[in-house]
């Protein structure tokens, strides 16, 4: 008997935000909206749609407001806007003015090292904890779902190994602000399954059950999919992925893409874990974007297709 047969896990599709922010090309707003719409049609119910950051630092996200304004008003999905500081949060909140739908979730970001934080969002660990406390409180007050991601939780491109005790202390401090969800991110793809199991297991024990635990992995060193499975087994409620394996961090040298949504779906579905998403539709979207981008997708399933093949 498959012990995962009655299990399920939620997926957050991050392709249009984390996926496109590191691309050399700045894609049209219409292309981003089509990418998001295709993934909604594939069953994605939570999607990172934009990042409210300074356009000079991340020009690929300069049209954040335009993307949000053009999204379909679907009440069965939740739109996430990434915010690094209060200025970004105020921009996200402004998308809801005048009765507009706007974003539904404030995706705040904390950091696990000072060096990465200063390069990514001009904040030390202490700065980011203070800023996130205020942002999470304000987001909830203004009707947005407050959630937060801890970047470089498994390794930093500038400081190397990140102590587990530090990450858990940051998680505990963030939990005091009562977000709906805390994510641990392997921003540079340094983690391995044993490390993931240990950290997620301890974080799950630390957090009250009303705070969801989310996992965000990059496949820089080819461990991303295995890490996602380890996080799921250790108690992660939600897994991030990016269609086609798009992604990378502009402020983390040589950090390659996120784990591919279609590769993750194949692993989960063949293991008897429900996601509510359609694998074939995700593969079709990855292949469509190959044509838009003009280069092959990084995912395995975009190349190999599903199995068994349909006749």
pLDDT tens string 20-76: 988 889 999 999 999 999 999 999 999 999 999 999 889 999 999 999 999 999 999
Sequence-distant (6+) residues with CB within 8 A of 156 are 112, 113, 115, 116, 162, 188
Q: Among 12-26, 64-78, 169-183, which is the least confidently predicted range?
A: 12-26
Share of the chain above pLDDT 70, in %: 94
Q: Does pLDDT of 1 surpass 50? A: no
Question: Residue 309: which pLDDT band, with cuts at 50, 70 and 90?
Answer: low
Residue 249 known to be catalytic:
yes
Question: What is the pLDDT at residue 308?
Answer: 82
**What number of residues does the chain have?**
311
Q: How far apart are CA 94 and CA 89, in angstroms?
A: 9
Mean pLDDT on 236-254: 82
Q: pTM of whole model > 0.75?
A: yes
Q: Does pLDDT of 103 surpass 80? A: yes
Helices (H), the chain: 29-41, 64-70, 86-94, 114-121, 125-141, 164-175, 193-206, 224-234, 261-270, 279-293, 301-304
- Decide which of 5 and 56 is more confident: 56
Mean pLDDT on 78-84: 97
The structural architecture, per CATH, of the domain 7-304 is: Alpha-Beta Barrel (3.20)
pLDDT tens digits for range 109-135: 999 999 999 998 999 999 999 999 999
3-class SS of residue 176: coil
Question: What is the pLDDT at residue 248?
Answer: 64
Task: Report the interhelical angle of 125-141 vs 86-94 (nearest 10°).
Answer: 20
Task: Report the interhelical angle of 224-234 vs 261-270 (nearest 10°).
Answer: 50
Question: What is the pLDDT at residue 42?
Answer: 98
Catalytic residue among 12, 236, 249, 298, which?
249
Sequence-distant (6+) residues with CB within 8 A of 79 are 47, 49, 68, 71, 101, 102, 103, 104, 105
Q: Where are the domains of the chain?
A: 7-304
Peptide bond into 308 cis (omega under 30): yes
Total Cβ atoms within 10 A of residue 288: 16
- Which residues, in sequence order, are bridge partners of residue 4? none
Which residue's entry shows tokens 């030390």? 124
Q: Does pLDDT of 251 surpass 60? A: no
3-class SS of residue 245: helix
Q: Are 26 and 253 in contact (CB under 8 A)?
A: no
Question: What is the pLDDT at residue 101?
Answer: 94
Question: Residue 310: which pLDDT band, with cuts at 50, 70 and 90?
Answer: low
């Amino acid at each position: 008997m498959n012990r995962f047969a009655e299990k399920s896990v939620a997926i957050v599709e991050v392709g249009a935000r984390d996926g496109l922010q590191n691309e050399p090309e700045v894609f049209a707003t219409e292309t981003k909206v089509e990418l998001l719409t295709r993934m909604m049609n594939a069953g994605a119910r939570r999607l990172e749609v934009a990042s409210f950051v300074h356009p000079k630092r991340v020009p690929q996200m300069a049209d954040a407001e335009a993307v949000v304004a053009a999204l379909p008003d679907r009440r069965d999905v939740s739109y996430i806007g990434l915010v690094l500081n209060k200025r970004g949060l105020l921009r996200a909140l402004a998308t809801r003015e005048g009765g507009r739908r706007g974003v539904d979730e404030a995706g705040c970001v904390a950091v696990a090292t000072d060096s990465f934080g200063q390069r990514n969002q001009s904040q030390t660990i202490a700065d980011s904890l203070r800023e996130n406390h205020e942002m999470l409180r304000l987001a909830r007050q203004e009707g947005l779902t407050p959630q937060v991601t801890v970047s470089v939780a498994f390794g930093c491109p500038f400081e190397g190994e990140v102590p587990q005790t530090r990450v858990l202390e940051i998680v505990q401090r963030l939990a005091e602000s009562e977000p709906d969800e805390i994510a641990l991110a392997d921003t540079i793809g340094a983690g391995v399954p044993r490390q993931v199991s240990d950290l997620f297991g301890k974080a799950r024990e630390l957090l009250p059950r009303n705070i969801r635990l989310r996992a965000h992995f990059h496949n820089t060193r080819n461990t991303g999919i295995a890490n996602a499975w380890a996080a799921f087994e250790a108690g992660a409620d939600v897994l991030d992925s990016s269609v086609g394996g798009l992604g990378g961090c502009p402020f983390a040298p040589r950090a390659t893409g996120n784990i591919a949504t279609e590769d993750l779906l194949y692993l989960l579905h063949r293991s008897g874990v429900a996601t509510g998403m359609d694998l074939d539709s995700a593969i079709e979207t990855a292949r469509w974007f190959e044509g838009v981008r003009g280069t092959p997708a990084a995912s395995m399933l975009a190349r190999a297709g599903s199995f068994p093949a349909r006749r």
